[in-house]
Chain A
Amino acid sequence: MKKTVLLVILIISLSASFMAGIFLKILRFPKLSLLFFILSTFLFLIILYKPFRQSQSEKKNN
């Protein structure tokens, strides 16, 4: 349950930081936009990190 909440929070923050990067790029703040794009990349890698994904046994239990 905790994992799911954390995953949802991570996905929301990933999309928020990606959109912030896009907006800042359009508004010509290249350094800030780069920062947000890097942040979104990190968040994406964290989401892909194995412990966040449900294992086969957990899927069976659910």
Chain B
Amino acid sequence: MKKVFIVILASGIMMTACKKEEKMNSFTNDSCKEKNEIIKKDWYPKLGIEYSINNFMYPDIKSLIVPEIGEFNFELANTVYYLNDYSIVNIFISCNNPNDILIYKVDKSNNLISEFIISFEKNMAYLKKLNGEILYVFELSNNKGPDCNQLGPIHNGETVSQCIVRNFSNFPCDAIGTVAIVLAPREIFAACAVVCGVSAIMS
């Protein structure tokens, strides 16, 4: 009798787990439109793009300071921020690409003031206009020390000084880099400046 009870209990637990997994899968596929129905407001259709919530790909990233808008806490994604000037900011996560976050800023009478996209790639975040023009490049704060993959010529939307700082700070990513930067920091700084300057001129 005890064995039968244990078997029934185990199968019950398995069934519940399977149902939860199905729910998770269906959320990513089908629930974008449903969620949009729930969160839809008067001015959303003006934007013409469908967005979802809560399936953000980078759970480690807590917040990001956007110079044009302020600091955002991604744990509160899709909540409304009321700023001092009575304007309202909304954050959405793209249905099509969970690496994209959309930020819309409206005034108190729901007129759209500005709209931005933040795209995440590896340890970088790019603030863009809707037409894809890059306004700022952020190096994310959860970067764990120097990374050899972050070395390289200038990125799109990055300034020469940002490129130099990125290369110089990521140069001691291994033992050889560390020894080299201890022996000749000025030469490495000059080399970073040359690489960034030349790549900026070439691009």
Contact = CB atoms under 8 A, between A and B. Distances in A.
Given A19-B187, A37-B180, A25 B171 contact: yes
Interface residues of B, number: 18
Interface string B175-203: 01100100010011001101100000000
Contacts of A34: 176
Interface of A is mostly: helix
B81 to A, nearest CB: 39
Contacts, number: 41
A33 B148 CA distance: 13
Contacts of B149: 28
Contact of A23 (B174, B177, B195): B195
Interface of B is mostly: helix
A28 B195 contact: no
A26 B167 contact: yes
A1 to B, nearest CB: 30
Contacts of B174: 30
A25 B153 contact: no
B190 to A, nearest CB: 9
A4 to B, nearest CB: 24
Nearest to A22: B191
Contacts of B194: 23
A25 B184 contact: no
A27 B154 CA distance: 11
Contact of B191 (A26, A28, A37): A26
* List of 3 A-B pairs having minimum Cβ-Cβ separation, nearest first: A22-B191, A26-B195, A26-B151
Given A25-B177, A27-B153, 5 more contacts: A22-B188, A26-B171, A27-B195, A28-B149, A28-B151
